[in-house]
Structure 1
Amino acid sequence: MTDLRHPIFARLYPRIAAASAKAGVDAHRAELLAGASGRVVEVGAGHGANFPHYPPQVTEVVAVEPEPRLRRGAIAAAAGAPVPVSVRPGRAEELGLDAASFDVAVVSLVLCSVRDPLRALAEIRRVLRPGGELRYYEHVRGGTPRKVRVQRYADLVWPFLAGGCRLVRPTDALIPRAGFTVRAERRFEFPESGPNPASPHVLGVAVRD
C-alpha cells in the first residue's frame, strides 16, 4: 500500500505553503535546488511547491508522494514545471525505484513526518548512484534546552495536526548516520521571530558514501 492519507493536513498544507512563500520560503527552496543536475528523485513532493525552482540542468524529476490529495496537486503543478516532472505514489521507506538510478535526491520538509527516518534515508541512499547528492531542507530539533522543551510539549498534539510531523526529530544528525557525508549545511530560524516550535531549520547537501 503506497497511499498514506492525511485528509485534513492535505487540505491545509497548500495554504500553509502559500503563507510561507510570502514569508520568504521560496528563497530557501531555490537555494536547496541551485546547482542540481541530472536525474532527480524528490521524496515527499507534496503538492509540488519545489517544482518551479528546478534549474535547467536537471534532465528529469521523479516526484514521489503518498498522500492522494497532495499528489493530485503535484500532478497539476508538474504540467507547468520548467523541467520534465513525473509524479508517482510511494513512501519514503519503499520508493519502488531502481538502485543507483538517480544523481540527486531531494527532501523538503518531509523527513520530520516519515515513520522510520533511518529506513527512509537508507532507501534514498539505495536509489542514489555512488557520489550522488542528497539535498535537504528540513525543520529539526531546537538548539537550546528551552526550545526543545517547547517542541516536546507541542509534539503532544502537533503530529495529529501536521500529518505525522515530529518537531524534536534530529534529522540533521540522522543523515550522516545513514551513510552520507555532509558537504555543506546551515542552520537558521524560519520564521525569524515568534513562538513557532517548528522554526529551527537546516538546509544542506550531503553525498552518498
Structure 2
Amino acid sequence: MAAASHPVFARFYERLSVAMDRAGVAEHRRDLVVGLSGRVIEIGAGNGLMFGHYPATVTEVVAVEPEPRLRAAAVRAARTAPVPVTVVDGLAEALPAGDGEFDAAVVALVLCTVPDQPGALTEIHRVLRAGGDLRFFEHVAAEQPGGLRRLQRVVDATLWPKLFAGCHTGRDTAAAIGAAGFVVDELHRFRFPATSNSPSAPCVRGRATRPASGHIR
C-alpha cells in the first residue's frame, strides 16, 4: 500500500499530541472508549495514544495508520497496551478489513484530516457489524455562524491543510456521520482549550450506531 508520508508533520505531531494529552485531551480519549467491548478497529491511530485507554472488555484492537513514522511509534505503544493491539498500514477510505468484522470503530482527530470524509465513513460503516458502535472525537465547524466559522473557511482554503497534513477545521462531521447511515446516539460539543478562539478549538465527542438494517443514504 502506498504510504501517506508526512515526515515533518509526523515529528511535530508526536510532540504536539503528548502536550495536548497533558492539557486535557487524554480525558476525552478515556471517555471516548468507556464501555467498549469485543473487536475494535481504530482508524488513524497516529502514535498510539489511544491504546492505553481501552477497557479490559476489548478483546482486540486493529489500529490502522498510513503514516510510516507514526505507525512505527504506534507499534512501540502497542507493546505496553493493556489490551492486544495489532498495528497495520491502511487508509481510512480503503480499510484492510472484511464486511461486518468489528464490534466498534474509533476515530480520534482523524475525520478532520482524511481526504475523502464520506468515503472513510462508508468504509467504517462497511467493516462494522449491524448494531456496532462508532466512537468519534473530532475538530468540527463552529456551531454558530460568525467570525470563527468565517475564519475556519479562510484557513481551510489556504494554509491550514498544508501545515497540518490535510486537516480541515470547518467540517460538519456529526452531520456527515448521520449521512453515512449511522444513528448518532450521543453528541457533546465543546471547545478545546475551553477559552480558545483557534480555528481548531470547536470539537465534538460522541457515539453513533450502525443500524441493524438499512443502507447508506
One-letter amino acid of the structure 2 residue matched with residue 8 of structure 1 = V
Q: CA deviation at 1:194?
A: 2.8
| Residue in structure 2 matched with residue 129 of structure 1 by the alignment | 129
Q: Deviations over 1:87-122 (max 9, x none)?
A: 000000001211101000000000011111111000
What is the aligned-residue identity percentage? 52
Q: CA deviation at 1:153?
A: 2.1
- Note if 1:146 corresponds to 2:151: no
Q: How many residues align?
A: 209
Structure 2 residues not aligned, in runs of 5+: 212-217
- Give the 3-state SS of the residue equivalent to 1:149 in structure 2: helix
| Residue in structure 2 matched with residue 190 of structure 1 by the alignment | 192
- Give the 3-state SS of the residue equivalent to 1:184 in structure 2: strand
Inter-partner Cα distance in structure 2 for 1:84 and 1:188: 31
Q: Deviations over 1:18-70 (max 9, x none)?
A: 11112111100000010011000000000001000000000000000000000
Inter-partner Cα distance in structure 1 for 2:62 and 2:12: 24
State how 1:1-209 maps to structure 2 within 5 Å. Answer: 1-144=1-144, 145-155=146-156, 156-209=158-211
Inter-partner Cα distance in structure 2 for 1:100 and 1:127: 4
One-letter amino acid of the structure 2 residue matched with residue 93 of structure 1 = E
Is the CA contact (8 Å cut-off) linking 1:42 and 1:61 kept in structure 2?
yes
- Give the 3-state SS of the residue equivalent to 2:154 in structure 1: helix
Inter-partner Cα distance in structure 1 for 2:185 and 2:53: 21
State TM-score, norm by structure 2.
Answer: 0.94
Inter-partner Cα distance in structure 2 for 1:95 and 1:2: 13
Question: Structure 1 pair 205/173, CA: closer, same or farther in 2 (3 Å)?
Answer: same
Aligned-CA RMSD value: 0.8
More moved, 120-129 vs 14-23 = 14-23
Inter-partner Cα distance in structure 2 for 1:141 and 1:8: 26
Is the CA contact (8 Å cut-off) linking 1:2 and 1:91 kept in structure 2?
no
- Give the 3-state SS of the residue equivalent to 1:29 in structure 2: helix
One-letter amino acid of the structure 1 residue matched with residue 192 of structure 2 = F
Inter-partner Cα distance in structure 2 for 1:139 and 1:194: 13
Is the CA contact (8 Å cut-off) linking 2:148 and 2:197 kept in structure 1?
no
Inter-partner Cα distance in structure 1 for 2:115 and 2:24: 29
Q: Deviations over 1:103-145 (max 9, x none)?
A: 0000000001111111100000100000000000001011122
